[in-house]
Amino acid sequence: MSNKTNTKSKVPTLKSVNELVIKFANVNGTGSASANNMFAKAIFRMGIPVTPKNIFPSNIQGLPTWYEVRISEKGYQGRREGIDMMVAVNPQSMDKDVKSVRAGGYFVYDSTRPIDIRYIREDIHYIGIPLTDICRQEYTDARQRQLFKNVIYIGALAALLGIEFNVLSDLVGDQFKGKQKLIAPNIHALELGYQYANNHFDCPLAIRVERRDLVKDRILTTGNNATGLAAVYAGATVAAWYPITPSTSVVEAFEKYASRLRIDAGTGLKNYAIVQAEDELSAIGMVIGAAWNGARSFTATSGPGISLMSEFLGLAYFAEVPAVLINVQRAGPSTGMPTRTQQPDVLSCAYASHGDTKHVLLFPSNPKECFDLTAEAFDATDRLQTPVIVMPDLDLGMNDHLCEPFTWDDSCRYDRGKVLNAAQLDELSARGKRFGRYNDVDGDGICYRTYPGTHPTKGAFFTRGTSRDPYAVYSEDGDVYVENVNRLNRKFITAKQILPAPEQVPAKNTNKKSEVGVIYYGTSDASTREALDILAAEGVFIDGLRIKAFPFHSLVEQFIHNHQQIFVIDQNRDGQMRTLLVNELDAQPSKLIKLLSYDGMPITAQNIRQQIENHLFTEKTKKKTANTKRGK
């Protein structure tokens, strides 16, 4: 066509099929989120692994927000640096957005008005689409103009990148199921963009996508969705919470699924209760009260909430009351960067509260694990009679991730731990035995409990934070206290055996023993695996170990013992997991090398690889790592 704007020939051009990063620069509150979401979902439905990430401000309307989508047919799901295509719909952030494009990449912008000369770079391609103009011609209503602008650029991208149009129109159909009237106008908006791009540019571009069959039966969802759903499956009946980003959507998901799946058919009443508490102190108090009374209960919060819950966590530890707490971590301290990701609460959760306290932590690294570990948390807290804290982060909680589908074993029964019923209490006394709430009859540190109201004359006890003897009788005797807290330690040793083992990721040179290891957890998983692959391709072979639980499994100790040098990857400033390893396992600190990232963005493989190489190939450490010769 005559009016096609050819991209300038002297400019280098990136070429790639199914390996690219596209970033959308939007203004929040303009409805871009659902359009961008549709984009990622379309790639997913074309069978290509995709990882979208929202980068958003702590604000409701009017500030810059980005959506970064990594498409990788190799299956890498970590964040990747370098933008291949920027879809710039926000004039406020234009300067930064132009700069972030890789040489040879593309800059898609609203060409209703000519682009400011300051934003012109010689080494990238410009694709102007008069979005505002098209909307002005098509729509009279201001809100419609704004909303459809997003859909139009998605249509244009479909042409530019080779996304199958019917995949997009199907998605529109799914999105507006039940709101039939909205389907045709949305498809029309997609077409407007699609046609404009086709008429004005050589479509598809050298960076593009092609259908594959790599997704299989995997699903695309957020960690918080998975967590809330798991709480329904695991039998939680009481949820108490106080709103805080990025954990709010955990309780929202619980409510969404519970209101569908937990309604009593006969009465229409709810087989669950949700209370929005006045603060986090109250939320955790309600959880503890409910669990003490025999209901599975949970709360979800983030760093500031953990601070407020600390006193109660100490009480629950000492009084041995179950509680499940979901801590979707965000950058701190205080309000910090509340909408940015980090792993900053490892230590504050492990040792939350006053006195000698330690808490069980679980570290999921994808939504499937959010589901499995949250379900596991409910069993573990009942079995161990101590709080269990599940530790995703903002990236995992709020962003969509590709993962295995959720499954539930229908034959599995909830493990409510050591709880005596009335008949068991009678039987105990028939055998001439006295019930002792804190009597360690099995030697595993875990004692038997009763729920209030169980038996008219047997099994009642008094729960308190102050010290008590094995029969729950108040005591300030030093020996009684010591015996009790030592028993709590025994319980922690039992915990090591019942909590999930770490995932072992041996280096790919099977014939040789690697002397270098890397320990990581949570959302560092995807980027670490990618970094290990890159390093292996260069001849640097490193064993990986992904921690899933604290207290640490014996395999963690062995891994540290079996390696000369171990990188510990933390997405926080101080290397908190490393500190916990040194403290709890008496590991030699010089062996454990901090590998950190804490700018509020998910860690990348490039960053990990760089830090490992910098360390391994400095003169000082070269000799020690004879086995890790550089390939190239």
Partner 1 sequence: MTFIRPDFRHPQSPKNDIGYTSKDYEGALSTLCAGCGHDSISAALIQACFEMSIEPHKVAKISGIGCSSKTPTYFLGNSHGFNSVHGRMPSVTTGANLANRELKYVGVSGDGDSASIGLGQFAHVVRRNLNMLYIVENNGCYGLTKGQMSATTDVDSVNKSGMLNEHQPIDLVNLALELGATFVARSFSGDKGQLVPLMKAAMSHRGFAFIDVVSPCVTFNNNVGSTKSYDYIREHNEATSALDFVPMKDEITTSYEQGASQEVTLHDGSVIHLTKAISGFDPCDRRAAIDAIKDHNERGEILTGLLYVDTDPTDLHDMSGTSCKPLNSLNEDVLCPGNATLQSINESFR
SS3 474: strand
**Given the complex with partner 1, which of 272 and 552 has the nearer CB atom?**
272
Taking CB under 8 A as the criterion, which residues in 523-562 touch partner 1? none
User: Which x/- pattern over 575-604 shows residues binding partner 1 (rule: CB under 8 A)?
Assistant: ------------------------------
Least separation in angstroms between residue 385's CB and partner 1 is 14
**Given the complex with partner 1, which of 103 and 261 has the nearer CB atom?**
261
Structure-block tokens of residue 229: 């759903």
The torsion angles phi and psi of 145, rounded to 5 degrees, stand at -55, -40
User: Which x/- pattern over 455-484 shows residues binding partner 1 (rule: CB under 8 A)?
Assistant: xxx--xxxxxxx--x---xxxx--------
From candidates 95, 116, 123, 279, binder to partner 1 by CB under 8 A: 279
201 binds partner 1 (CB under 8 A): no
Reported in sequence order, the residue ranges of 558-623 that DSSP labels E, i.e. its strands, are 565-570, 592-596
Rounded Cα gap, residues 372 and 144, in angstroms? 42
**Given the complex with partner 1, which of 265 and 626 has the nearer CB atom?**
265
Q: What is the 3-state secondary structure (H, E, C) of 131-190?
A: HHHHHHHHCCCHHHHHHHHHHHHHHHHHHHHCCCHHHHHHHHHHHCCCCHHHHHHHHHHH
428 binds partner 1 (CB under 8 A): no
Give the total residue count for the chain: 632
Structure-block tokens of residue 530: 């990618």
SS3 466: coil
Taking CB under 8 A as the criterion, which residues in 388-427 touch partner 1? 405-410, 413-414
Which residue, 46, 164, 77, is CA-closest to 404?
A: 77
Cite the DSSP H helix spans in 237-366: 248-261, 280-292, 303-319, 346-350
**Given the complex with partner 1, which of 321 and 391 has the nearer CB atom?**
321
Least separation in angstroms between residue 462's CB and partner 1 is 4
Tell me which amino acid residue 118 is: R
240 binds partner 1 (CB under 8 A): yes
Taking CB under 8 A as the criterion, which residues in 7-66 touch partner 1? 44-45
User: 370, 396 in Cβ contact below 8 A?
Assistant: yes
Rounded Cα gap, residues 443 and 465, in angstroms? 22
**Given the complex with partner 1, which of 270 and 591 has the nearer CB atom?**
270
Least separation in angstroms between residue 213's CB and partner 1 is 14
Least separation in angstroms between residue 41's CB and partner 1 is 9
User: 309, 282 in Cβ contact below 8 A?
Assistant: no
From candidates 237, 381, 523, 604, binder to partner 1 by CB under 8 A: 237
User: Which x/- pattern over 282-311 shows residues binding partner 1 (rule: CB under 8 A)?
Assistant: xxxxxxxxxxxxxx-x-------------x
Least separation in angstroms between residue 278's CB and partner 1 is 4
Taking CB under 8 A as the criterion, which residues in 215-234 touch partner 1? 217, 219-221, 225, 229, 232-234
